Structure 1
Amino acid sequence: MLNIKKLTILALSSALLIGPVLTVQADEYDTKIQEQTEKITNLESEQQVAQNTLTALENQITRIETEIAETAAKKVKEEERLNEINLEIADLKVAIEKRNKQLEEQARNVQVNQSSSSIIEAVLTADSLNEALGRAMAVTTIVNANNEIIEKQKEDQEQLEKLLEEAKQRLTTIEVQAKVLAEKEESLTATRLDQQVAINELQAMIATEKKQKQKFEKQKEEAIKRREAELKAIAEEKARASAAQQAYEKEEAARAAAQAQAKASYDNSNATVEEQPQQPATPTPPASSGWGMPVSNVSVSSRFSWRTDPFGSGASELHNGIDMVGSSGTPIFASKAGTVVQASYDPSAGNHVIIDHGDGYYTYYMHLSSFAVSAGQSVGQGTTVGGMGTTGSSTGVHLHFAIATGIWSGFMDPGPLLGI
């Protein structure tokens, strides 16, 4: 059952309700996109700070590596110097050993070959005092020279040992320094690795948030497209509802005129029966129409007539078709061959199919549970167009079958054409 007034109201209501809902959806995506942008900005700032820290760590490591290289070079030089001192000490010890042996031999010679008396004798047997003094001074000089050599060798040895100790201390200091630098480098390297891991994690998080932002942007684009499509559909629905309303008003005017004419005829004939609402003018169908039943088992629950609104408004309305009841999903067939011009949803007619039969007539199949055809499809008589249902403005499972001479206009009683 198609109620033109309800169709118009529902179409306008849909336009008012869907528009704000779609706008809210777009605003929600804008908010989500802004939140993702802020997250990405914050993460990129953290990444920059982490990168700066990593750069500082790498600079410190570079400086420490330079210090380690310099320390290693110093260590090599100290080791070389230590080796040189060790060689000098070894050479000096050999020289001292040789001199000690020489002195010992000289001492033995003096003891063996000359006694103290012989030295005195040498002095006493001198021809003159000068000669005696010379001999005594010579002996003293030899002894003093030997003593000086011994002392000098001792001093040289002590000096070399002192240098050796200093070299060892410097080498120990360098080794300690090298160890400290190595530990420092190891610690900084570990910190650098941790910092790199943190940067990698931030990069992964940024990539994830960017993907999420792209997802929201895509959803926003899809929402905008849906809004544009639905607004277009609403505009078309409003235009169709307006055209249907105009057709309804035209039919109402025709009905009022027919009722007025019937009343005048009634008054003239002094009829005693109560005046009934007149049916709208029904076009005369072709002599051999060839209409087929839209269901296999026909069970009519409401015919083409004026009746009280079944939804409780109390108003009288034109029921512009025949209601045939059955079970949900019962196959609905095309009454005649033609082309499907509509296969869509309407708030009042629910899922419906309109077929243009090319002879000035259109058939309507309303409140379907499902579609079996689509707009633009050619169908033959008996082709299944859908299943019986109760979509749209309906009080139960049934098929509202109608015949008209236009799209949502010119409805006529299908009974005579179907032979029921």
Structure 2
Amino acid sequence: MKKNKLRVGILFGGRSGEHEVSLLSAASILKAIDRTKYDVVPIGITREGRWVTANDAQALLTGKAAKENPRLAGDPEATATAAVIRRGEAIIVPPVPADSLQPLELSAAAELAPQQPALHIDVVFPVLHGTFGEDGTIQGLFELADIAYVGSGVLGSAAGMDKDAMKKLFKAASLPQTPYLAMLRSEWRADAKKATKKIEAALKYPLFVKPANLGSSVGISKVHDRSELAAAMDLAASFDRKLVIEQGVGGPGAKPRELEVSVLGNDTPEASVVGEIVPGAEFYDYEAKYLSDSSVPIIPAKLSAAESKQIRQMAIEAFKACDCAGLARVDFLMEPAKKGSKRKPRIYLNEINTLPGFTSISMYPKLWAATGLPYKKLIDRLIQLAVERHQEKQQTQFSRV
């Protein structure tokens, strides 16, 4: 008897500032995924928060405008691939995210579309970068629906998105990181002079000012001295209520090496070879990542065997510290080597990204390709890990009965 193929929902788009990056990642996955193994359901989320499927999802993916009233995911009048979550228990996600999820009962669905069988999505592959996709919110929905999904759970996703919480977990795991300070937007706006003194008492210029909860270097500024601090704080504060201010590595004029490692696995994760990004700008900001071809990836990075081993081990420890699963890219900063100095350059953990860019030319898959795991097989492995994690979770008892 022929085994049924897994039905995989590729979820993309979303309300974050990384909407376009998500579309690129999803397009790469949809092109590469093995259709002989999987039935693939594209599921899009518009910038306004509407969940769309079928032709409307394809339109969103290609940058075309969807219909004025697109069919929502779970709409029984949509195509047979429209139901998103679980067997016969579809949901409608309203355009206004603040509203509660509206359940669509099985009996109502059958009455509206008696000819349409209930759809079972086996695994969701979320390719939602940044806010509302990488921060634990969508993962909570999957948990409520009891469906397998690729990537970290609620805790790992939330910790990986919140740079302040992430750094506290790294500190608890004794992982080296540059000095930093977290500050609420309200504190900055209430008394900028007092906040400036607090920052300067704790850290030395140059500084990096970041929104605590955002990705792709959006809202990040390098601050060389006090004259640039206020503008950087205001910019970061426009993106989040909590700000992270980090001391630059190496001091004034230094340009640290930017190193990256891809991690794959659940309870026993593995690390890829180490890669390096040589940014075309002063640091690897949004423009350098996505709007310019001046940044140069070096895979593998030119490191000693000891340095490479240390960084890969730190990546696995960071993955475990944040309780991650499935995939993550871990970023590091390495002091520039000083001429005449016998001291080895220090290596600092920068951050972890639980849903990194996933185009075929993104660093996460490129690092695995260089390690011996090509893009198509990487997709297979991530789906397998999602299924394994969901099966393991079924061993957990949630009630006394």
Greater share of strand residues, 1 or 2? 2
Q: Same fold (TM over 0.5)?
A: no
Structure of greater Rg:
1
Query: If the length of structure 1 is used for normalisation, what is the TM-score?
Result: 0.23
